[in-house]
Amino acid sequence: MSFIDSAAEVLDRTEASLNSLITDALKAKAYREIATIAAMAESVAAIGPGRSREKASKVSTAAEFGGGTQATAETAKTPEPSWMRPKTT
């Protein structure tokens, strides 16, 4: 195993740990902490150029096919960010 492979493995584990923390913070409704942890996870994901391109393409594809949601008057009043709200179909 090369040093690059080892570094990629560490990044994968770090990203998984941060995603787990986001899940725990969502359960605890710790919304301020979630934004900070999400920024950290994005920074870790951006380190690997192939990984960040792959994730960016998934986000753009979702937006192209109507993955976004429209805000209603009810959802605009809620204190949590829109990405934390359940999506309705």
Domain ranges of the chain: 3-84
Share of the chain above pLDDT 90, in %: 17
DSSP 28: T
pTM confidence score: 0.50
User: Treating both helix axes as pointing N-terminal to C-terminal, what angle do 49-64 and 31-47 enclose, rounded to 10 degrees?
Assistant: 120
For 45-87, write each residue's pLDDT tens digit: 888 656 545 555 554 444 444 444 444 444 445 566 666 666 6
Phi, psi values for residue 83, rounded to 5°: -70, -10
The more confidently predicted of residues 57 and 20 is 20
